[in-house]
Amino acid sequence: KAGVTQTPRYLIKTRGQQVTLSCSPISGHRSVSWYQQTPGQGLQFLFEYFSETQRNKGNFPGRFSGRQFSNSRSEMNVSTLELGDSALYLCASSLSQGNTGELFFGEGSRLTVL
């Protein structure tokens, strides 16, 4: 069974640009969550999607958005990039609908903003 796939793995952008990151969950998983990982702030929850609906959103500005498609694939978008957006963006999928159970993480998309 294929794991969670994230693309692109690495990207470099400049301030003011926007970026779109993609996540393909494990087959059969309908819940997709996104986390931002930085050395200073650790792992922070961005949002969660289930059946194409955003179910929960973390404490991030509106520049951060996402969506989920009918095949459970998800994308997140960051507009008007700032230097502080440089981070590893991790996508995780899960089988369960509740708040428990394993999250299966992808290898992440490492974004550098210059």
Partner 1 sequence: GENVEQHPSTLSVQEGDSAVIKCTYSDSASNYFPWYKQELGKRPQLIIDIRSNVGEKKDQRIAVTLNKTAKHFSLHITETQPEDSAVYFCAASKNTGRRALTFGSGTRLQVQP
Give the residues lining the site for partner 1 (CB under 8 A): 4, 31, 33, 35, 42-45, 48, 50, 55-56, 58-59, 90, 94, 96-100, 102-103, 105-108
Whole-number Å distance between alpha carbons of 15 and 47: 23
Residue closer to partner 1 by CB (options 68, 81) is 68
Residue closer to partner 1 by CB (options 55, 63) is 55
Q: Tell me, what DSSP letter sits at residue 98?
A: S
> If DSSP codes are grouped into helix, strand and coil, which group holds residue 39?
coil
**Farthest-apart Cα atoms in the chain, separation:** 38
Residue closer to partner 1 by CB (options 28, 98) is 98
